[in-house]
Amino acid sequence: MTESVPQHIPLILASASPRRQELLAQIGIVPDDICPAEIDETPEKDEEPRRLAGRLAVEKANAVAAQKTDAFILASDTVVALGRRILGKPADAKEAVKYLQMLSGRRHRVYSGLCLITPEGNVLNRVVMTVVSFKRLTPKDIEEYIASGEWQGKAGAYAIQGLAARFVKSLNGSYSNVVGLPLFETANMLEGSGYKGRTP
């Protein structure tokens, strides 16, 4: 009697972020489907950055799980914070300049909420934090970075994996967390839940 091969259960990434897809590919994980969650990401009144990151990740996962069954649903949300102040995606270049001026010469925190819903409906979630320290930025540093356009669509107005890498004096915690998905925690969460990647 031949052994039956366990059926592959699909993994759905509840995010359209190409960075998150690239990070997953880095550790050999390729989602079976990409299904961005359409939710309101507005912070609640007096909501702390850590709580916001965790809440949005859970809401994204739940939104997709309501449409997709018999699958693993993975969602994440990244929040950049200076103290209790949340620095979201800048609306325009003027706001991006303001954010970079605020981050100049200071330490800030990057939180990523991570949520995995299993095919059985179990919900696993956690929040990962990284502390990032910026050098003191000159007006020329900021002007050149704004001109690059790299700040667009980025929380905190910068992408650590791009030109802004030269602004980072030190980093305490997960680098991939700052890019948009903490890989160590993601891999552990998937493995612990019984997810098996696709067989080539």
For residue 133, the domain's CATH number is 3.90.950.10
Question: In Å, how far are 5, 17, 46, 70 from 41, measured between CA atoms?
Answer: 41, 15, 14, 26
With b for 16 or more beta-carbon neighbours within 10 A and e for fewer, the 116-146 pattern comes to bbbbeeeebbebbbbebebeebeeebbeebb
Task: Please tell me which residue, 94 or 198, carries the higher pLDDT value.
Answer: 94
Is residue 159 included in any domain, yes or no? yes
pLDDT of residue 69: 85
Strands 11-13 and 33-34, sheet pairing: parallel
- The CA distance from 23 to 6, in Å, is 26
pLDDT of residue 132: 98
Domain of 90, in residue numbers: 11-192
In this structure, which amino acid lies at residue 1?
A: M
Number of domains in the chain: 1
pLDDT in tens, 107-121: 999 999 999 999 999
Is residue 197 included in any domain, yes or no? no
**Number of Cβ atoms within 10 Å of the Cβ of 187:** 15
Task: Please tell me which residue, 56 or 199, carries the higher pLDDT value.
Answer: 56
pLDDT in tens, 30-44: 999 999 998 988 999
Is residue 118 included in any domain, yes or no? yes
**Which residues are known to be catalytic?**
77
Is residue 121 included in any domain, yes or no? yes
Q: Is 52 left (phi over 0), alpha (psi -120 to 50) or beta?
A: alpha
Burial class (CB in 10 A: 0-12, 13-18, 19+), 112: buried
In this structure, which amino acid lies at residue 112?
A: S
SS3 126: strand
Average pLDDT over residues 7-34: 92
